[in-house]
Amino acid sequence: MSSKSSSGSGRRSAAPRSARKRKLASAGNRSRQLTRTILLGSVVVFLAIAWLAEELDLDTAELRSYLMTSVLLVLGVALLAVLAAGLISLIRRFLR
């Protein structure tokens, strides 16, 4: 009976490790699935907009202009966010 309890305790110490490994592997899979879903969704939306522009006889040059404006706006906001995070990190480092 004591051999069962000693093997059981050995399993308990090994179980958290394997559970952690499974959790980390599943988090990596979820991240890849999310990235794939976002990319596929973006491609589908792009194709839908292109098809709609063709069907409604919209000016594609004007649509491309709107696209570039929105991309530049998003990149500008992302750059400001990165700069703000860097500034906050720098301030925290000097205050320590």
Q: Is 53 exposed, middle or buried (0-12, 13-18, 19+ CB in 10 A)?
A: middle
Give the pair of three-digit tokens for residue 54: 């063709």
Output the CA torsion sign for 52, 55, 61, 66. negative
The pLDDT tens digits along the chain (96 residues) read: 544 544 555 555 555 667 766 766 677 788 888 889 999 998 999 899 889 889 999 888 888 899 899 999 999 999 999 999 999 999 999 998
The three-state secondary structure class of 57 is coil
